[in-house]
Structure 1
């Protein structure tokens, strides 16, 4: 596990950590003594690697689209796609988007 590696430092893999964890309480003991890592911050990724030295770390591999919700556009994309998949929201959202784009002349 590598926290936000530069492309030249990234391991050769098609996997990424998505940021959803179920961790044992021991992680807090590790984080409390962990030195600062990437960006001068204590990194959960570093703590999980340390935890893995004493207990098994499991992961779930899924297929699907990944959104970077830490990025403003990624957050908006995820929200819109999620809403479009919901039967109770999709029609109203489509209507809103069409009307909004027509009003702002972005649709042409």
Structure 2
């Protein structure tokens, strides 16, 4: 999990949890893409999981939610009724590639790290910036 700006909570599954030790939360509740007013926190689920096999039973019981999709967050909420769930607070840079701007930012930053294309890509970006100004 990672903190996100409150105005972005509607983009993520959000955790309501209790901080129990360094970077670890005990999850009390999960809400899939809540409105700002309904969000229990600004702690966003990043989509990396270690889950018990019982999640498959919970997925079978989960009804489609937003956009007619079965949400893993909803299945995790059911699982929470049977076993404890913990969340680890991620440290580091994260790219939201589910967001158009985040996808472009990740692409540009990773392209600039590649030895085989970074010089040509920098030159390209500079030429684009000159056209903007």
Same fold (TM over 0.5): yes
Of 62-71 and 37-46, more deviation after overlay is shown by 62-71
Which blocks of at least 5 consecutive residues in structure 1 are unaligned?
Answer: none
Deviation of the 1:60 alpha carbon: 1.7
- Give structure 2 stretches of 5+ with no counterpart: 1-29
**CA-CA distance at 1:47 after TM superposition:** 0.5
User: Between Structure 1 and Structure 2, whose CA radius of gyration is higher?
Assistant: 1
Question: Which structure carries more helix by proportion?
Answer: 1
Please list the CA deviations of residues 62-102 of structure 1 after superposition, one character each: whole Å capped at 9, or x if unmatched: 23444331122211112212333x25254332122123444
SS, match of residue 5 in structure 1: coil
Query: 5 Å matches for 1:8-23?
Result: 8-11=37-40, 13-23=41-51
| Structure 1 partner of 2:73 | 45
> RCO greater where, 1 or 2, for CA within 8 Å and sep 6 or more?
2
Report the alpha carbon displacement of residue 27 of structure 1 after superposing the two structures with TM: 1.4
RMSD (Å) for aligned C-alpha atoms: 2.2
